[in-house]
Chain A
């Protein structure tokens, strides 16, 4: 019997499931591996929605190009533009597909998809299913994958932990080693292509809005095997989360999209019931500072403003912990239940307070990794991507691909709300034809590679496992080390970053890295041992933590989620028009200089000898939309914009028709 090629997908969230079902449709045999039953993947936590241009916004002047533009502007121009353009142009068809798959999107009275507005745009682009859009999208894909499983096209390996990619002597990826979380069996899986779809790395920050599987360990294991990691320092801190002892639970941006207002009492720690505080004594700081976008400024800005109002201005609503009000109480109960039921239930359930009656208390929390495994793409003549090209979503390790949150491709320095579900499904669907194309021209199958390749890879992992179980006398507790790592990372590498703190953090993380080698396990058994699995994940957090810290330390600028006050370009201070104009010219000069220096992708590589990361940089393809200043709320924005426009005009005149994009 002739053997057939197989693709191994690691991770069963939106990206992994989308890739699996598309490959199955293309008659490719797929293995799908996940730490949890795929239906319980972290994508279920996404609440708000998924963006695309639609018939209604189109008639208000919107188009795919504007969605593309909002995405790169929101991301502070750090993404390569062709993949983002391709994604924006695919978005309407992706939502059509999800609609056909039975996603229970909210409807208009006439039966069309209802849309809401999200941060960073002026259009109502976001389709949603109550406040559990991620759950509903994931279920639709889970159902299709189950259908293919019954048809025999997809095999699932749930409760399996990815331990390492297997590279042959030429450096090509030939499969992976993984461990059964129940029986603890370690097994090699030959695969002709390996697709990583393992999501973000929030657990490196201890508590975040991410699920318990989001340790980043699978990505780290590929990184340690030689995969490049891009833009690691860009970590999105979501402006609105509910503080909790075990987890910081997300309060979706849709709460603001549906009219939620963020405020604090003007009087610090005003002890009154928030409902008793009159309107004029409330400080709606986002609305006051950003009249155009109001409560719907992009996430990085909302986060910093909330952080600032609490930490620097001392206006937290509680004296003993940081929080601001997110207020929905002016919206009718029935409307709230219909549009936001799911997320309001979460607040009520975990805080014991009804947010329809009492303003919620929220504070920012680590939420999304914009950075991730470096992946390639093939640019088309019109500035999008060449479909079915082998380079699309390919890591630098031949045969290894990455999609979804674990790649670095789509969100640049900051992700717009309701774009992550889109990028996950898009990259999952888009990677499949390129793999199919190559499978038809393989020289040899992984399953026919020498058995020694797989045996030695398996043995290496077995050795690591056995050594951890048997080592004695180290005395380190992996759970406590994890807490310490999380504290350091949260303190130094989230909303505001300072070089001295980052330097100190690196030293402390290196120290923790070495201590984590000496973990003593409280469970040394050979059956469903979660202790050893967690310890391995913890050890593998350090390469990614160092990638985040070193990237942040070197990047001396402010861009998107990466904010270093020391290198901020301040707003204009003068009231005199001529002087103001001069300041604006200076501002623009400084902005251009900053981009020349820092508009580049951070690329980390693992140095196994030093057990540390090396950072280099790569240019960013900004050929479609020239980078422009991101001026949300800056003092003097109009003058700066004027100067900027004049300069752009001057620059384009002698060159003639230069712009690659449309307007």
Chain B
């Protein structure tokens, strides 16, 4: 029975509506669950309860909802999903806040829409990691023998780099980006895993690389050793799927849970890319 609550009262229970999908390419459907309220719940503990009860609001036995999570401290990036229409981590989405500020009776959970659904709230974010390969997001050191300390770095530079290096590859910036559209391929009959993997990578590389990877490229171009490969990174940022696709909607920076200055990175990348292209013209 539907109850109405004032914003200050805590309900005895609340409803959770989940957009489920049994597997890739299958139709999605909404399912309603009722969860007993307890103080200090987050969306993870809600999903844990739903897994343990495995029964919908109307009493049907169902399989537990599938979702991805690990650290529960909002530092691993795994449990990203769309909660009440906004992309964020399930672990730091506190039930008290959701009921108080967003909707007093119901919490709505959906998988991210920009990545292929594996099952329920779990999506395949391999494209996001592929982008890190593409922009060579690493410091090209000679090797791992003892070669003494690294370059000296001023606190100012460190304070600029540190926020960028907190990117946990969660995908919020991509979910919010109008230019980042879903790429979903299916394995052909007889296609080997390796061939399918290669085909996926090729498709990912044609599509928009995303704010997170642009920001990582800037992080490594800032590093005294990392900048040795700055030109290669800028080549990638100006290739198909590169920075030119960014429409400057600035949604990325608004949804980033780590408050990474993504639009600053994009701005810097844009200027560096322009110079890079000009330099290539003049140098032939």
Contact = CB atoms under 8 A, between A and B. Distances in A.
A associates with B: yes
Interface of A: 21-22, 25, 36-37, 39-42, 44-45, 93, 96-97, 99-102, 104-112, 129-130, 132, 135-136, 139-140, 143-144, 146-147, 149-150, 182, 211-213, 244-247, 249-250, 338, 342, 346, 349-350, 352, 429, 477, 479-480, 522-525, 527-531
Contacts of A104: 158, 161-162, 165
A347 to B, nearest CB: 11
A108 B155 contact: yes
Interface in B217-239: 220, 223, 225-226
Contacts of A342: 75, 166
B71 A40 contact: yes
Contact of B75 (A44, A108, A112, A146): A44
B71 A211 contact: yes
Given A522-B63, A528-B118, A246 B75 contact: no
Contacts of B40: 244-245
B122 A479 contact: no
B137 A143 contact: yes
A246 B52 contact: no
22 contacts: A25-B144, A40-B70, A40-B168, A44-B71, A44-B75, A100-B147, A102-B150, A102-B225, A104-B158, A104-B165, A110-B152, A111-B154, A211-B71, A245-B39, A338-B159, A350-B92, A352-B94, A352-B96, A477-B52, A523-B63, A525-B63, A531-B63
Interface in B45-76: 45, 48, 51-52, 54, 61-64, 66, 68-76
B158 A182 contact: no
A556 B162 CA distance: 48
Contacts of A211: 70-72, 76
B74 A527 contact: no
Contacts of A247: 44, 72-73, 91
A22 B144 contact: yes
Interface string B266-278: 0000000000000
B138 A530 contact: no
Nearest to A40: B76
A39 B169 contact: yes
Contact of A245 (B38, B51, B75, B97): B38
B143 interface: yes
A143 B77 CA distance: 16
B150 to A, nearest CB: 3
Contacts of B39: 245
Interface in B137-167: 137-141, 143-144, 146-150, 152-155, 158-159, 161-162, 165-166
B165 A139 contact: yes
A99 B39 CA distance: 43
A522 B144 contact: no
B70 A36 contact: yes
B107 to A, nearest CB: 15
Given A101-B139, A107-B155, A146-B133, A349 B74 contact: yes
A45 B72 CA distance: 10
B184 to A, nearest CB: 14
Interface string B9-43: 00000000000001100000000000000111110
A147 B138 contact: yes
| Most B CB within 10 A of own CB, among A25, A96, A100, A108 | A100
B78 interface: yes
B66 A245 contact: no
B71 A45 contact: yes
Q: How large is the interface on B (under 10, 10 to 19, 20 to 34, 35 or more residues)?
A: 35 or more
Contacts of B42: 244-246, 350
A632 to B, nearest CB: 30
A99 B158 CA distance: 12
A498 to B, nearest CB: 30
Binding site secondary structure of chain B:
loop
Contacts of A39: 76-77, 129, 168-169
Given A40-B70, A349-B92, A522-B62, 5 more contacts: A40-B169, A96-B148, A99-B150, A245-B45, A525-B63
B213 to A, nearest CB: 12
A213 B42 CA distance: 19
A44 B76 contact: yes
A531 B153 contact: no
Interface of B: 22-23, 38-42, 44-45, 48, 51-52, 54, 61-64, 66, 68-78, 91-92, 94, 96-97, 118-119, 122, 125, 129, 132-133, 136-141, 143-144, 146-150, 152-155, 158-159, 161-162, 165-166, 168-169, 220, 223, 225-226
B248 to A, nearest CB: 28
Contacts of B154: 107, 111
Contacts of B54: 522
Nearest to A351: B40
B147 A107 contact: no
B75 A530 contact: no
B119 A528 contact: yes
Given A39-B129, A147-B138, A102 B70 contact: no
A149 B133 contact: yes
A486 B146 CA distance: 44
A109 B155 contact: yes
A221 B152 CA distance: 45
Contact of B133 (A106, A150, A244, A480): A150
Contacts of A480: 52
A456 B185 CA distance: 34
Contacts of B162: 104, 129-130
Contacts of A250: 73
A-B residue pairs, 10 tightest by C-beta? A99-B150, A111-B152, A523-B63, A143-B138, A522-B54, A102-B139, A40-B76, A100-B150, A528-B119, A479-B52
Contact of B118 (A101, A182, A352): A182
B137 A429 contact: no
A404 to B, nearest CB: 17
A135 B73 CA distance: 12
Contacts of A100: 139, 141, 147, 149-150, 225
B44 to A, nearest CB: 5
Contacts of A40: 70-71, 76-78, 168-169
A139 to B, nearest CB: 6
A132 B39 CA distance: 28
Nearest to B22: A527
B168 A135 contact: yes
A477 B53 CA distance: 9
Nearest to B137: A143
A131 to B, nearest CB: 10
B31 to A, nearest CB: 14
A40 B122 CA distance: 15
Given A96-B149, A245-B41, A527 B119 contact: yes
Contacts of A352: 94, 96-97
Contacts of B74: 346, 349
A36 B143 CA distance: 27
Nearest to B167: A139
Nearest to B119: A528
A246 B72 contact: yes
Contacts of A249: 72-73
Nearest to B23: A527
Contacts of A140: 139
Nearest to B49: A479
B149 A99 contact: yes
